[in-house]
Amino acid sequence: MKILVTGGAGFIGSNFLRYMVNKYPNYEFVNYDKLTYAGNLDNLLDIDSMPNYSFVKGDVCNLDFLTEILRDVDVVIHFAAESHVDLSIGNSLAFTKSNTYGTHVLLEAARVCKVKKFIHFSTDEVYGDIINGKFSETDKLDPSNPYSASKAAAEMIVQAYSKTFKLPIIMTRGNNNYGPYQYPEKIIPRFATDLMMDRKIPLHNPNPFRTYLHVDDTSRAVDIILHKGVIGETYNIGTEDEFRNIEIAKKCLDYFGKDESYIEHVQDRPFNDLRYSVVLTKLQNLGWKQEISFEKGFIDTLKWYEENRAWWEKLILKN
């Protein structure tokens, strides 16, 4: 099987490739990435020389190039996306181009090349927020910000290609991922790197809840969906590990031995979803279960940032 992974130099994509390249030596993996600010080939140095891995620099908006690249590809796993909500509020057009138009271009190339399976990686944020209860895969989409709107729009095009062109598509919607190699703009690596530099941590709203999923559990979920998922279905990926933003801040402060004077309360987003939570039954019925508890994954992640200071310092100085 030949598998093309878009956004494979980013956080989730690189962790997924590391997991899959080592697990399936008889599969061929192509990492297709534009190498924007969050794409980093240093994330993949440990598999760079593996015989079943290769890298192609490219943009998901380049139809002609993608059509060439996909000619002998069996499966597309589409991680590539702009994903930071704060950035989408300030530069929303870039998110529509990458996340919505880019997905459309990739779908068209997959259609032309008769790809056998297309797995589209979306987000639980497309549902909007939910104060009580959980969203199931059949609930309506109600995105609240330009990022989640661009991902919801991409899903509409994915569904259209499934219905109109019978493209063999599976969709996923995941909780907040965390773990090693996450660009230090998201809450856990941002707080960790700021505290290691003896800086205050910016907290724009202490109250929203987020549900956290270790990236290795995500890799295992996508692996199972690739092999056991039903064409045309959507699968939520997540956990029950739900924390308010202030709780994550305090956990980081405790780990690094800082007090709450290191919290800097900053202006909130124009609109901030209060809570996300999803039903996991469909994925669990495929045989997936959470293997990394938040307690272990959180500490291991902070240790990783402590031990890999050169990795993130270079990114902060570059940008």
Summarize pLDDT for 14-54 with one digit per residue, the tens: 999 999 999 999 999 999 999 998 899 999 999 999 999 99
The fraction of the chain above a pLDDT of 90, given in percent, is 89
pLDDT of residue 163: 98
Q: What is the dihedral of CA 13, 14, 15, 17, to 10 degrees?
A: 80
Contacts 24+ apart (CB under 8 A), 158-166: 158/103, 158/107, 158/118, 158/120, 161/107, 161/110, 161/111, 161/118, 162/232, 165/111
For 5, 20, 203, 245, the CA distances from 206, given in Å and listed in that order, are 35, 37, 7, 5
What does the pLDDT read at residue 33?
Answer: 98
In angstroms, the CA 185 to CA 86 distance is 10
Query: How is domain 2-180+212-240+274-292 classified at the CATH fold level?
Result: Rossmann fold (3.40.50)
* Residue 319 scores a pLDDT above 60: no
* Residue 99 neighbours by CB distance under 10 Å: 27
| Domain definitions of the chain by residue range | 2-180+212-240+274-292
Which pLDDT value is given to residue 28? 98
pLDDT of residue 82: 87
What pLDDT, on the 0 to 100 scale, is given for residue 83? 74
The reported pLDDT for the residue numbered 170 is: 98
- What per-residue string of b and e applies to 104-122 under the rule 16 or more CB within 10 Å gives b? bbbbbbbbebebebbbbbb
Q: Give me the pLDDT at residue 114, please.
A: 98
| Per-residue model confidence (pLDDT) at position 164 | 98
Contacts from 45-54 at CB under 8 Å and sequence distance 24+?
A: 46/18, 47/17, 47/18, 47/21, 47/22, 50/21, 50/22, 51/25, 52/21, 52/24, 52/25, 52/26, 52/27, 52/28, 53/17, 53/21, 53/29, 54/28, 54/29, 54/30
Write down the pLDDT at residue 172.
98
Report the C-alpha gap between 229 and 218 in whole angstroms: 14
Q: How far apart are CA 68 and CA 63, in angstroms?
A: 9
- pLDDT for 49 equals 97
Mean pLDDT along residues 200-207: 91
pLDDT at 273 over 90: no
Instruction: Indicate whether 166 pLDDT > 90.
Output: yes
Mean of all residue pLDDT scores within the chain: 95
Residue 147's pLDDT is what? 93
Catalytic residues: 124-125, 147
285 vs 87, higher pLDDT: 285
Residues pairing with 173 in the sheet:
122, 236
Amino acid at site 237: I
Distance between CA atoms of residues 87 and 147, nearest Å: 8
Query: Which pLDDT score is estimated for 318?
Result: 65
pLDDT per residue as tens digits for the range 83-140 = 777 677 777 898 999 999 999 999 999 999 999 999 999 999 999 999 999 999 999 9
DSSP 126: G
pTM of the model: 0.95
